[in-house]
Structure 1
């Protein structure tokens, strides 16, 4: 059972949303700085993919543990610790003098984010109910749009303005003032929540999960570059047996009442299973799209970081508006229809973007991107809000931390996978054609295929749920 020290007020929710801004801004702001980082630190395209992916890997590996620590020691306390670590890691990123140093600091940022994010969803889940809970989840989704806009515009401006000669370094250092504000007001406004019965940390599960994710992401990112030499093939082949070992380890932990990292009892819930499939497919699309488009606009078309960032403001604004409407839409047409509506809108925007690039290339401008990227952002907002609502719909309140950590773990792993997967596809096509037009079209077509699988998976889940309801009624 969870304990709550005080009600979660709007002020407390605002601080939690500010904490959510940190990892989300860091995702979008880094994409704007890719070309500048490559030039300053002489980074290859593989190292750029790893700069995005290592953050997602560290984030994903530590998320479930972050949720467990929050359950045991107080979610506000771990939230505060995460903000401290994220701020210090951001300082390390800003002071990096080599790509290796930057990769290490990015990994530390991911660990800090993993301590922050599970506490936000879990605090909302145990402190609010009914319409207030739904509105808070809608706000949680809308903050993603705000972070996207802030990251794109501010990041592009900072890199182009070269404030105090810091260039790309300022996109990391900008996190520090946000961390300071959160630390000043967190203890005053955010209630402490925790589980009455503390559970131990599942170190075997954490280690195996880390190995699974690394064995998946490293070959996807680096395998094509090294012509799929045997070490990368071997790592990829280990994913299935390691996943099986992880399941058996978690099952054993649960049977011995040792509080597994990802409780099999939750993984057996159909809503959680579907949420994981949705996370892998959709968030891989999102991160891969941003990676490929950022490089196309800057390296392919020679846009400045500022103009590249501004090109996606319409997408972020549409995402923000859609997130504010998502709770109302869901109440009217239901979760599944909202998700399918979001997929339809997003895919129409994606097809339109492919047509636009093919038609106007190389005269691609901010104005020409607005119609299609706006559609994509609006549709994505419905998908993200549906992901959390559906994924958590069957999770008991006592497992709030573990449930939110499971969903967000796979979400962040997919972010890393997407940049590696679609980034590798992008570079393979570019190496073959030496044409950024063909490379970005190929990456966008790859995304369209993945989104089609999302739609098919949603229909299968809806059919399964309806069959289960019919069986219960009979």
Structure 2
């Protein structure tokens, strides 16, 4: 599958850039004189614009062709990365990051859609597993490689190197994808649900803006007004989508996807995982650097066991899933839960003096657990999705993942900072760890329900049901 590493490299770029800024925030603050609100927007603005544009990006891939949208997205993402590295003020960096998120929204949905349409059927389970693994590793490697780049101070670029590194990678991915991606015709007539795109993106904006900025601004009245108004706004968008589908149009959201229990439960598992993972990595990275005095490189190295063991375990996990089905995913959630529990107990007992070997053991267990979860994380909700619906399904999946991730960071981060002001870093991180544990336990319950739903969906077939979610 020579094409698979190429399109997964683009997916890795997106995930890397979503996480690498966590270790670079102190350097950005020092160099650009960025305030707390600007720093939060450097992180949240990327996720906000990405989440707001994902469903539209998936739909454009269905309508205009996935090759065209993928290549356009890669080129635009590379350019936006360069603009991030060239930023001379906090405002310029925030705007460039939001542009980067929008271009990622054009690129990423095509990756999963290409896997489900271009990769041969017998190789697709393995490709889906690698997609999930790449997503997880890109997040952890953002911490580790970001720390290495900052520690090495490549060419004296400082924090700018974390963005400029996308230039050679993006050019290589664009060249190889141009040569390898097949030329196919777009599905259906070139129609676009503009009202649906505005309604879905607008309702997401109404929710994400206060979630990202509310804590920093002290939760003024306008944040609550926006947050509450996002509910009727989204309801109105859903009603429009239903009416458009009933008239035989092409709605942005295919709401019939949620009639499938496998898709719905799989989406809930993805949401729980992203809320746990995004908030947990954010809290631990910030605590190690700002609270416990670790360098960017030192903090990144703490995540090394997670990255290495997640890769090793995920490779074994693919074979285990074929044999044992979704019980492997449940076991992975249990191991991840144990790792979070160890961190919480260590912080409670030792505070900022928690031993490095204890942390490394816990982070290693998280890698093992996540490695067992990731191969099925994306494949599960996509089971049984037809090729013509792959783009909108992947866009919907990615949108929910990102919304869950930014919500996790905003909510858990808000609790973390509130406890921090009163009790210090160790206690704040401990509270965040208990919340993460609750999310992981929720995943365990949902995977048991998913296993039953997959069996029910595949019962008429003689195939082994659960193997298809790998």
Q: What TM-score results when the alignment is normalised by the length of structure 2?
A: 0.91
Map 1:234-383; keep pairs closer than 5 Å: 234-335=225-326, 337-364=327-354, 366-383=356-373
The residue correspondences of 1:413-452 to structure 2 (distance < 5 A) are 413-433=403-423, 435-452=424-441
Residue 364 of structure 1 deviates from its aligned partner by 4.5
1:63 matched to which residue of 2?
A: 54
Query: Does the CA-based 8 Å contact 2:109-2:391 persist in structure 1?
Result: yes
Deviations 1:23-43 (A, max 9, x none): 011123112212222333333
Match of 2:468 in 1: none
Matched, 1:231 2:200: no
1:401 matched residue in structure 2: 391
Among 202, 208, 223, the alignment partner of 2:199 is: 208
Q: Could you tell me how far apart the structure 1 residues matched to 2:185 and 2:404 are?
A: 28
Q: In structure 1, what is the Cα distance between the partners aligned to 2:223 and 2:334?
A: 36
CA displacement 1:330-349 (0-9 Å, x = unmatched)? 211123x2321221111011
For structure 1, which segment, 232-241 or 462-471, has the greater mean C-alpha deviation from structure 2 after superposition?
462-471
The structure-2 alpha-carbon separation of the partners of 1:146 and 1:444, relative to structure 1 and needing over 3 Å to count, comes to closer
1:20 aligns with 2:11: yes
| 3-state SS in 1 of match to 2:251 | coil
Selected match of 2:115 from 113, 124, 127: 124
Shift of 1:225: 3.9
Q: 2:66 pairs with 58, 64, 75, which one?
A: 75
SS at match of 1:224: helix
Instruction: Name the CA distance, whole Å, in 2 between partners of 1:414 and 1:50.
Output: 17
CA contact (8 A) 2:12 2:138 kept: yes
Give the secondary structure class of the aligned counterpart of 1:204.
helix
Q: Does 1:188 align with 2:179?
A: yes
Match of 1:6 in 2: none
Relative to structure 1, is the Cα distance of residues 13 and 457 closer, same or farther in structure 2, using a 3 angstrom cutoff?
closer
The answer as to whether partners of 1:123 and 1:193 remain within 8 angstroms in 2 is no
Report the Cα distance in structure 1 between the residues aligned to 2:147 and 2:368, rounded to whole angstroms.
22
Q: Compare 350-359 and 86-95 and name the one that shifted more.
A: 350-359
> How far has the Cα of 1:73 moved from its partner?
2.2
Aligned partners of 2:311 and 2:454: how far apart in 1? 30
- Classify the secondary structure of the residue corresponding to 2:30: helix
Contact 2:47-2:402 at 8 Å conserved across structures: yes
SS in 1 for 2:61: helix
Tell me whether 260-269 or 136-145 shows the greater mean CA deviation: 136-145
Q: Greater CA deviation, 451-460 or 18-27?
A: 451-460
| d(CA) in 2 for partners of 1:66, 1:381 | 28
The alpha-carbon distance between structure 1 residues 194 and 418, as it changes in their structure 2 partners (threshold 3 A), is farther
Q: CA deviation at 1:121?
A: 1.0
| Number of equivalent positions | 461
Distance 2:112 2:459 in 1: 32
Q: Establish whether residue 179 from structure 1 lines up as the match of residue 173 from structure 2.
A: no
Structure 1 residues 279 and 215, CA, compared in 2 at 3 Å: closer, same or farther?
farther
CA deviation string 1:165-199 (max 9, x = no partner): 32111111111110011122211122234444234
Partners in 2 of 1:404 and 1:59 — Cα distance?
Answer: 14
Shift of 1:461: 4.6
The aligned counterpart of 1:5 is: none
Change in Cα spacing, 1:289 to 1:149, as seen in structure 2 (3 Å) is closer
Map Cα deviations across residues 315-334 of structure 1 (whole Å, 9 max, x no partner): 11122122222321221112
The correspondence for 2:98, drawn from 103, 107, 112, is 107
Q: Is the 8 A contact 2:132 2:376 kept in 1?
A: no
Where does the alignment leave 5 or more consecutive residues of structure 1 unmatched?
Answer: 1-9
SS in 2 for 1:362: helix
Give the gaps of 5 or more residues in structure 2: 462-470
Cα deviation, 1:245-294, whole Å, max 9, x if unaligned, reads 12111112212222111111113222221122222221011111111111
Q: Is the 8 A contact 2:113 2:394 kept in 1?
A: yes
How far apart are 1:448 and its partner, in Å? 1.6
